[in-house]
Amino acid sequence: MLSDCLKRFNIALKKFKETYPRPEWTEEFKSSLVNDYSFYSARIEDEKLQYGYTIRFLNGELVKKGKMKSLLDVSNHKDVLESVINRYDTFELSETTIKEIHRDLMSSELAWEVDFKPHLVGEYRNVPTIGYREPFFENKEYVPHYNLGMVMSSYINMFIGRFENIDNSKNESHLITVLAYFHNKFLNKIHPFADGNGRVCRIIMGTILMKNNCPPIFVKITSDEDRFDYISKIVDCEKIKSDVPLIELLSNGMSEYLEERILSAN
C-alpha cells in the first residue's frame, strides 16, 4: 500500500500537470521553476543567500554588489541545471555525465567552498574527505578516495536499474523513493568529489524528475531552519539505515511546492 506522503505527491503532481501541461510552458514559467530549484539547492550550501534578492538577480535585475560571489555561484548552478534538463530526454547517467556536470559546475574558483583544486574539476577526489556537521551532529567520513573508482562503477549500475524501473504506484519503486536512495548513496555515502557534491547530486535529481514527467522541483529551503531540517533528515536516515525520513521530507516538501503553484493559477 502506498504511503500517505507518496499519495499526496501523486495527487499534487497529477493536478499540477493538468493545470500546467508541459507543452504549454512558457519560457518565463520554465525559468521560474529552474530559478526556484537552483535557489533551494544553493541555499543548502550558502546561508548568505536570500530568496527574493537571488531570484531578482537570476531574472536579470540589478542588485547590490555585496553578495556577488554567492549570486554568481547560484547563477552558474542555474545555467548548468538548465543546460542538463533542456536535454533531459537524451540524458543517460554514467560516470562520464556525472563528471561533465561537475566540470561545468565547478570550473570557476568562485564555485568552490574549499580551496580551489583545478586538477580535480571533473575528477574524483584524491584525498580523504570528512563531512563536518558539528556541533549539532557527528562528522561523517565518506568512501575512501582510493576506492572511488570501483564504488562509483558499482553504484552507477544500481542507480540506472532503479531509474529505469520507476513506478509511482509502489513505495519501493516510486520516483521519490528512488531519488532519496540516489541522494543518500551518492551524497552521503560516496561523496565522490572534493567539492560540489550536493549541487551535482541535485542537478541529476532535477533531470531525473524531468525524465519522469515531473517538473524540476525541490523542498523549499529559504532559511537556516529549513536547512537544518534537511540535514537532520539525512542524519536520521544514517542512524536508522533507512531512506524513509528523506522520502517523507522530499515528498511532503515537493507536494507543498506543487500545491502552492496550483493555487497561484486560480
Higher pLDDT, 32 or 59: 32
Q: Are 34 and 78 in contact (CB under 8 A)?
A: yes
Average pLDDT over residues 34-39: 95
| CA pair distance 164, 81, nearest whole angstrom | 21
Average pLDDT over residues 8-30: 96
Average pLDDT over residues 183-206: 95
Residue 117 phi, psi dihedral angles, 5° rounding: -125, 85
* Banded pLDDT at 236 (limits 50, 70, 90): very high
Average pLDDT over residues 80-86: 92
Predicted confidence at residue 50, as pLDDT, reads 86
Average pLDDT over residues 51-65: 77
Higher pLDDT, 237 or 111: 237
> Taking each helix axis from N to C terminus, what angle separates 51-58 and 27-45, rounded to the nearest 10 degrees?
130
Query: Over pLDDT 90: what percentage of the chain?
Result: 77
**4-123+130-264: CATH superfamily:** Fido-like domain (1.10.3290.10)
Residue with cell 547517467: 93
* Banded pLDDT at 110 (limits 50, 70, 90): confident
In the chain, what are the domain boundaries? 4-123+130-264
Query: Over pLDDT 70: what percentage of the chain?
Result: 97
| CA pair distance 207, 104, nearest whole angstrom | 15
Ranking 65-74, 111-120, 163-172 by mean pLDDT, the lowest is 65-74
* Banded pLDDT at 133 (limits 50, 70, 90): confident
Q: Are 238 and 142 in contact (CB under 8 A)?
A: no
Residue 62 has pLDDT above 90, yes or no: no
* Banded pLDDT at 129 (limits 50, 70, 90): confident
- Which sign, positive or negative, has the C-alpha torsion 172, 163, 211, 218? positive
Predicted confidence at residue 242, as pLDDT, reads 97
> Taking each helix axis from N to C terminus, what angle separates 197-211 and 27-45, rounded to the nearest 10 degrees?
150
Average pLDDT over residues 230-259: 96
Nearest to 81 by CA among 40, 139, 28, 22: 40
Higher pLDDT, 70 or 157: 157
* Banded pLDDT at 66 (limits 50, 70, 90): low
Ranking 51-60, 164-173, 194-203, 241-250 by mean pLDDT, the lowest is 51-60
Average pLDDT in the chain: 92
Residues written for the chain: 266
Q: Are 117 and 110 in contact (CB under 8 A)?
A: no
Residue with cell 547530486: 201
Predicted confidence at residue 56, as pLDDT, reads 85
